[in-house]
Chains A and B, each alone.
Chain A
Amino acid sequence: MEPISTVAGIGVPLQRSNVDTDQIIPAQFLKRVTKTGFDDALFYGWRQDPDFVLNREPYRVEQPGTETRILIAGPDFGTGSSREHAVWALRDYGFAAVLSSRFGDIFRGNSGKQGLLAAQLSEKDIETIWLIVDEHPGIAVSVDLVAKTVTVGTASFPFEIDDYTRWRLLEGLDDIGLTLRDENHITEFESRRESWRPTTLPAR
């Protein structure tokens, strides 16, 4: 994972509460064999509606993954099914962060694993940001993980994120990255691994 300190991009207002992961990505897309390429599946049901925010300028992304977006969502974002695909779909579309006043627990955990910043703001601040974005569509929203602040234009708002996740994101460490910090121990263990233990190569 790349270390993250600040992410910035066009703020996309999603003025709905209780957006569960079934709405973020419907079950029909779970049969795929990849962990990428889910951008077309993101909010699949809602995107059939031409008025949905991601179908409107300046929010829509022409080529998913090439432009950064910040999602400003209502409370209880990412509840329901544990599917990690929800995080993959948001990330694939171009979202680097989601701002909300409350997140589904599993979604928040999955986000941390995949480098999607789930920043928790007060409900009042979310509403304020919605107002600013409403007046200045396309305004950049910047999320500073070091200072734990969201900046929109000249206004700044504090956000919460758990210390362990923040540390891992700042360091660019996923679970695998963390384990690899002990790589010297792994290598040392391997150096004394007995020769009778199985190896699959070369095939015999």
Chain B
Amino acid sequence: MTEAARPRTLAEKVWDDHLVVKGENGSPDLIYIDLHLVHEVTSPQAFDGLRMAGRPVRRPDLTIATEDHNTPTLLIDRPIADPISRTQIETLRTNAQEFGIRLHSLGDIEQGIVHVVGPQLGLTMPGITVVCGDSHTSTHGAFGAMAFGIGTSEVEHVLATQTLPLKPFKTMAITVEGTLKPGVTAKDIILAVIAKIGTGGGQGYVLEYRGSAIRSLSMEGRMTICNMSIEAGARAGMVAPDQTTYDYLKGRPHAPQGAEWDAAVAYWNTLATDDDAVFDAEVFLDADELEPFVTWGTNPGQGVSLNDSVPDPAAFDDPNDRAAAERALEYMDLTAGTPMKEIPVDAVFMGSCTNSRIEDLRAFAEIIKGRKKADNVRVMVVPGSARVRIEAEAEGIDKIVEEFGAEWRFAGCSMCLGMNPDQLAPGERCASTSNRNFEGRQGKGGRTHLVSPVVAAATAIRGTLSSPADLSVEVSA
């Protein structure tokens, strides 16, 4: 069988089509990078490295930068108060200017979280390679792109050469068949996947999400799933492109047009994994069985169905898991056996590159519409980009949010990691649509429960972790 005729997975096809030099005798392949996304936190030393070596950015036209991690979500027209945050932002502005890189600064209509901006502009498309000095670059795999996070030295390498020396990744199929129940979303699928394979289960792999439940998801839903591939330790997550992908992409500013569009679609249609291709590992999940999912611990793998209770550490067979559960419960101030739905929260964060796109905001707004948030719960809604914010305002979502008693903010990473002033106070408990429930991630001493937008909405209404189903019972009663 010739090389071309060998049955291949989606990931292998994209890899093969970006081979600049095939590595020999154990040396890595040299892979071409189609799109390089840059933000203020991981790029300064890379630009400095270029400057020291007297090297230009090889392809400014394949590079785009945005400000997101440090940007405030209130009073965005004032100077940034924290000097370190301000310096990082100002450094990015200087670097972008010096090296001729397109930058969307705070206040610009295309500013926003880097992983929201790429797809929104139509830059993220099937069959391309995407990198960024950011682990959640995996988001872009939802389009059938090979997208992964890199370190600062690699950022410099890509800036200088538009390539990366890489050893091929292994492939894992994650097949989700069936139909999701109402109120169960993409977020619940990925939380269930991570709980199943563990936070290290994907190490060294590109995950390909397949099956009828994935096919029926919107692009936003697929992005939510691919986004959190990294929380399973994977290098990347991918979904083969289909009509849903094309419908989302067509007409966006940087999407191909006319004959180019047709040529692209013809190529994209060849990308799906061949029927007889073999994955290095396979995992199956039944969508019919899934319930809204929520984390109880301090890593994204420590999750249960919302109908379950806080697990008993003694129930874990593996001594490391048991010890981790004990530590997590102590940090989270939770008692084994407590029904998840009885856990009260102090805050709800609706945002982050996992769930801050227009569809996420719509899902959240639909549930809170005409209601009031629970007293004692502060609720923050942070659109993923300036454009999402404008789109939401055109639909009246800002009004719904404000009438609900929640805060309507400007775009950015915000309380996903609290590099800006949006932080939890020590001991505060938050239902968050973000992706990491690590100790102190949302603020020193803060406690995070990862949830979907609709669970966040129901929780904001009831004040305890809740699913939308809990609301309909109340309404009809």
Contact = CB atoms under 8 A, between A and B. Distances in A.
Interface string B386-421: 000000000000000000000000000000000000
Given A194-B267, A197-B128, A198-B125, A33 B88 contact: yes
Contacts of A189: 20, 32
Nearest to A201: B61
Which secondary structure dominates where chain A touches chain B? loop
Interface in B117-143: 122-125, 128
A201 B431 CA distance: 39
B161 A33 contact: no
A180 B53 CA distance: 13
B281 interface: no
Contacts of A113: 153
Interface in A162-204: 174-176, 179-180, 182-183, 185-186, 189-190, 193-201, 203-204
Contacts of A1: 53
B128 A198 contact: yes
Contacts of B20: 182, 185-186, 189
A15 interface: no
Given A34-B44, A176-B53, A176-B157, A196 B62 contact: no
Contacts of A198: 34-35, 62, 122-125, 128, 254
Contacts of B84: 31
A35 B45 CA distance: 5
A84 interface: yes
B263 interface: yes
A36 interface: yes
Interface residues of A, number: 30
B196 interface: no
Contacts of B161: 176, 179-180, 183, 186
Interface in B247-272: 253-254, 256, 260-261, 263-264, 267
Interface residues of B, number: 45
Nearest to A84: B153
Contacts of B342: none
B253 A204 contact: yes
B163 A186 contact: yes
B62 A200 contact: yes
Nearest to B129: A197
Q: Max chain B CB contacts within 10 Å: which of A1, A190, A200?
A: A200
B32 A186 contact: yes
B165 interface: yes
B445 interface: no
Interface in B138-190: 153, 156-157, 160-163, 165
Nearest to B49: A35
Contacts of B475: none
Nearest to B256: A196
Contact of B260 (A182, A195, A201, A204): A195
A189 B18 CA distance: 8
B30 A35 contact: no
B442 to A, nearest CB: 20
B107 to A, nearest CB: 16
B102 A203 contact: yes
B64 A200 contact: yes
B437 to A, nearest CB: 25
A195 to B, nearest CB: 6
B34 A197 contact: yes
A84 B151 CA distance: 12
A36 B44 CA distance: 11
A100 B87 CA distance: 37
Contact of B21 (A174, A185, A195, A196): A185
B44 A33 contact: yes
B48 interface: yes
A24 B121 CA distance: 44
Given A33-B88, A174-B53, A196 B157 contact: no
Contacts of B60: 200-201
Contacts of B49: 35
A148 B253 CA distance: 57
Contacts of A84: 153
A176 B55 contact: yes
Contacts of B153: 84, 113, 175
Interface string A83-103: 010000000000000000000
Contacts of B91: 33
Contacts of A204: 253-254
Given A113-B153, A189-B32, A33 B45 contact: yes
B52 to A, nearest CB: 7
Contacts of A35: 44-45, 48-49, 52
B97 to A, nearest CB: 14
A179 B157 contact: yes
B48 A200 contact: no
Interface in B330-355: none
15 contacts: A33-B44, A33-B88, A35-B44, A175-B153, A175-B165, A176-B157, A182-B30, A186-B30, A186-B163, A190-B162, A196-B263, A196-B264, A196-B267, A200-B123, A204-B253
Given A195-B256, A199-B62, A204-B254, 16 more contacts: A33-B44, A33-B45, A35-B49, A84-B153, A176-B156, A182-B21, A185-B21, A186-B162, A194-B264, A195-B260, A196-B263, A198-B34, A198-B123, A199-B61, A200-B61, A200-B64
Interface of A: 1, 31, 33-36, 84, 113, 174-176, 179-180, 182-183, 185-186, 189-190, 193-201, 203-204
Q: Across chains A and B, which 5 residue pairs bring their CB atoms closest together, nearest first?
A: A33-B44, A196-B264, A196-B256, A35-B48, A201-B61
